[in-house]
DNA sequence: ACGCCGTTTCTTAGTCGCTAAGATGTTGAA
DNA sequence: TTCAACATCTTAGCGACTAAGAAACGGCGT
């Protein structure tokens, strides 16, 4: 467990902040191109990254919105053709939000640019170096996620 | 310029997406703890990351908001004590938004947690490995920024 | 110096999305 | 069956955003 010099730490903090700002900008850009609000895109992203379909209530929890707001979000996403409401056959109170296949296509198209960005960066590294970068990414996500989801 | 195998590319795309979602979540968490909206925090971040003080109009451009909306943003940030309005002495039409020193303190406090996260990750790598990670971060920011700020 | 137009910020009216609280429909257990 | 808990939707009220115009200022030409 190596000590980290202050100047190195500060530079990495700056990278994080810069990436953070670019990411937020990127999200609103994507939302704009998809013709939905940033909030709607955020919820759609949640629904797409989940293993199975999410319920409306779960989306409310994960996004931090009220259930009433989520009703509106799903309304708009459904009208735009990105998702579909399906009543849970086992518990008909619940509404499952299913991402429609067409959306995957549209979405993939929009993200091709991002994919190319990733490729442009990775092409500058050898396979051995990429292994290290992969370890770095995984670790960052784990530590970051832990900090986000544990009570202070 | 090494070729990047598809499976590697896909894994890195997944990391990017996960980081992206965590980042957006992190931003709204920070905003909440600062007692301002996500929009306001985004503008404050812009003002803090700039070299000199920004004008209201420049914040509108950078944030994508209308000038009217920015007036409201600055009103709220000023009332909360994070920034101060200063008329540009050279062009008294302009309003310079100055980040107040107290804010730096509050901000630093909130970001100590993030700093610790960065440190926890970096401590797992040797100085030589960190050099590589630094190259990766810089390159990612450059390529990402180029994609964001060039017309399609 | 004066008038005039472009620029910068602020104001106002209208719209939209969010929260909070209650209504509606559903479940599971007594 | 009846009732309490639950999941989603509906509604009222509020706050923030956009668009358009007002107010203040700068700088040019005459």
Radius of gyration of chain B (CA): 19
Q: Measured CA to C1', what is the nucleotide nearest A85? A: D8
Q: Which helix (H) or strand (E) holds A102?
A: helix A101-122
Mean of pLDDT values over B121-150: 96
Helix A38-49, helix A6-34: angle, nearest 10: 100
Is B111 or B57 the better-scoring residue by pLDDT? B57
Mean of pLDDT values over A69-92: 97
Q: What percent of chain A has pLDDT over 90?
A: 84
**Using one digit for the tens of pLDDT, what is the confidence trace for A16-45?**
999 999 999 999 999 999 999 999 999 999
| pLDDT surpassing 80 at residue B117 | yes
Half-sphere exposure of B122 (CA within 13 A, CB side): 27
B91 to chain A nearest CA, in Å?
A: 30
Q: How far apart are CA B20 and CA B17, in angstroms?
A: 5
In this complex, the answer to whether residue A93 has its CB under 7 A from any atom of chain D, a nucleic strand, is yes
Q: How far apart are CA A124 and CA B40, in angstroms?
A: 37
Per-residue model confidence (pLDDT) at position A36 = 95
Q: Answer whether A148 sits within 8 Å of B29, measured CB to CB.
A: yes
Q: How far apart are CA B96 and CA B90, in angstroms?
A: 11
| pLDDT surpassing 80 at residue A111 | no
C-alpha angle B9-A17-A116 in degrees, rounded to nearest 5: 25
CA of B53 to C1' of D28 (A): 28
C-alpha angle B147-A110-A95 in degrees, rounded to nearest 5: 135
Per-residue model confidence (pLDDT) at position A62 = 96
First to last CA, chain A: 24
Q: Which residues contact B35 (CB under 8 A, 6 or more apart)?
A: B80
Q: Which residues pair with B97 in a beta bridge?
A: B54, B85
Question: With bands split at pLDDT 50, 70 and 90, how would you rate the model's confidence at A8?
Answer: very high
Helices (H), chain B: 6-34, 38-49, 56-63, 67-79, 101-122, 127-149
Per-residue model confidence (pLDDT) at position A104 = 72
**DSSP collapsed to 3 states, B96-117:** EEEECHHHHHHHHHHHHHHHHH
How far is the CA of A9 from the CAs of A5, B15, B44, in angstroms? 6, 22, 23
**Using one digit for the tens of pLDDT, what is the confidence trace for B18-48?**
999 999 999 999 999 999 999 999 999 999 9
How far is CA B76 from its chain centroid?
A: 19
Whose CA is nearest the C1' atom of nucleotide D23? Answer: B93
B125 contact residues in A (CB cutoff 8 A): 2, 132, 136
Per-residue model confidence (pLDDT) at position B152 = 62
* Closest CB to B137 among A15, A118, A143: A15
A132: nearest Cα among B82, B21, B128, B6: B128
């Amino acid at each position: 467990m190596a000590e980290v010099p202050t100047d190195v730490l500060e530079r990495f903090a700056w990278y994080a902040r810069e990436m953070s700002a670019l990411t937020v900008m990127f999200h609103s850009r994507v939302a704009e191109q998809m013709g939905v609000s940033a909030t709607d895109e955020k919820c759609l992203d949640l629904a797409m990254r989940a293993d199975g379909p999410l319920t409306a209530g779960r989306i409310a929890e994960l996004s931090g919105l009220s259930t009433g707001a989520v009703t509106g979000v799903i309304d708009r996403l459904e009208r735009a053709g990105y998702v579909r409401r399906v009543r849970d056959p086992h518990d008909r109170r619940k509404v499952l939000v299913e991402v429609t296949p067409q959306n995957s296509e549209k979405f993939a198209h929009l993200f091709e640019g991002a994919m190319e960005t990733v490729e442009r960066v990775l092409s500058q590294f050898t396979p051995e170096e990429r292994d290290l970068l992969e370890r770095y990414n995984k670790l960052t996500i784990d530590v970051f996620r832990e900090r986000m989801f544990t009570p202070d």
